[in-house]
Structure 1
Amino acid sequence: SSFPTSHYHGITVIINLAQITDEMKRILELLSIDLTRISKFTEKQDFYMVRASENVRHIFSELYTVQNHIKSSYIRIKILELLLILSETDFDADKKKCVYFSKEQRDCVLKIHDFVVEHITEHYTIEELAEQFKISPTAMKNCFRGIYGVPIYTYCRTYRLQIAEKLLREGQLSVAEIAAKIGYINPNKFTSAFRTEYKMTPTEYKKNV
């Protein structure tokens, strides 16, 4: 696995069924969480990758703003939400939705990914990238989304904002300098995009970290 900025903030959830107490089972049953169904699926294969839906994104997005003194309890609540969603997931149907691409297409899209990441301050059209890497625009769009889960423009925007979030945490550059560093000529557009992603302005985020 790799992460766009090599700067990962995340949560690993490990379920040890042998350690679940009767009290925990009662809580899970009360919340309609079916761990038996989840565990039966995991017995079929070593791992299964589930694309993040809007519901899953919502579960974890608020962790960026929760106050530290309640974060531990808040994470427990979010894990229960995640388990509830997994209890209702149709794993077999998800597997049937998988789209496969040729090795040539995958290799080409990986090169495109590396290129746009290395030139993140630049803005390329789909047609420009397709022509440069000798792939059809439709194949490029479909394969990129198949590998990375989102359209290429969405990926680049999120990547830029992840870099911005890292720079804001470091606190060495102003908001305007960060905007320019990730390819936003207009700082107001950067502020708007950051607020959409992190539910607060860059200035507010900088004060809270």
Structure 2
Amino acid sequence: TTLAERFCEHSEYGMMMEETESVRQIFSSLYKVPDQIKGHYFKLKVIEIFLLLSVISTSNNEKRATYRKQQVDIVKAVNEYVSTQFMKRITIETLSEQFDVPTSTLKRCFKGVYGTTIHQYLKECRINAAKRLLHETDQSILEIANAVGYENGSKFTSAFKEATGVTPSAYRKV
């Protein structure tokens, strides 16, 4: 059986799999290769990827999620939008309308592609931006909360502490 037959039952679908340590190792090392050996190194990595794919189970009792290219493209656009507009009030319903995709499909595909919910991703974007602002500016905690999309300072503090283990003021002191 060819790899395409094993992993892609229909031409418009592809297979996605969760990241594992072996997959992470294969791909992370691609970014640290000296220019003089890149060509040969990449050939070895392609062989390593084929070897990994040859031992992955594709039996019927192990269902893998499949998404059409159009769905993945929409989810990537949603990701880009959320990562740049996180300071705005964003709901699944508004994203669904804006990107013309049913809410259930949007939630399922986003989670399948990125391994997290849209809500959790939005929260991570806000917390990461808040961390930068806490270290790089003298803005008050409330100003930072508002700048990253929280209308309420106490909700921001709770979310920040849940994500980082410390309050914003304690994080700023570190």
Which of 156, 161, 165 is the aligned partner of 1:190?
Answer: 156
List runs of 5+ in structure 1 lacking aligned partners: 1-11, 15-42, 49-90
**CA distance 1:93–1:197, shift in 2 (3 Å):** farther
Matched, 1:132 2:98: yes
CA contact 1:171–1:206 (8 Å) conserved in 2: no
Matched, 1:45 2:49: yes
d(CA) in 2 for partners of 1:143 and 1:183?
24
Write the mapping of 1:58-137 to structure 2, written as runs, cut at 5 A. 92=56, 96=62, 98-137=64-103
**CA distance 1:150–1:93, shift in 2 (3 Å):** farther
Deviations 1:110-145 (A, max 9, x none): 111222222212223222211221111111111111
Deviations 1:73-109 (A, max 9, x none): xxxxxxxxxxxxxxxxxx9479956422111001111
d(CA) in 2 for partners of 1:172 and 1:159?
20
**CA distance 1:176–1:98, shift in 2 (3 Å):** same
CA contact 1:120–1:183 (8 Å) conserved in 2: yes
d(CA) in 1 for partners of 2:57 and 2:116?
20
Alpha-carbon deviation of 1:183?
A: 0.8
The aligned counterpart of 1:161 is 127
d(CA) in 2 for partners of 1:192 and 1:129?
25
The aligned counterpart of 2:142 is 176
Alpha-carbon deviation of 1:13?
A: 7.9
**CA distance 1:128–1:47, shift in 2 (3 Å):** farther
Q: TM-score, normalised by structure 2?
A: 0.63
d(CA) in 1 for partners of 2:51 and 2:159?
35
Identify which range, 170-179 or 91-100, moves more after superposition. 91-100
d(CA) in 2 for partners of 1:107 and 1:197?
29
List runs of 5+ in structure 2 lacking aligned partners: 1-23, 27-46
Q: TM-score, normalised by structure 1?
A: 0.53
Alpha-carbon deviation of 1:206?
A: 0.6
d(CA) in 2 for partners of 1:93 and 1:198?
37
What number of residue pairs does the alignment pair up?
Answer: 128
Which of 141, 162, 167 is the aligned partner of 2:107?
Answer: 141
d(CA) in 1 for partners of 2:155 and 2:50?
44
d(CA) in 2 for partners of 1:141 and 1:113?
12
Q: Letter of the aligned partner of 2:70 in structure 1? A: E
d(CA) in 1 for partners of 2:123 and 2:71?
23
**CA distance 1:45–1:155, shift in 2 (3 Å):** same
Alpha-carbon deviation of 1:156?
A: 0.1
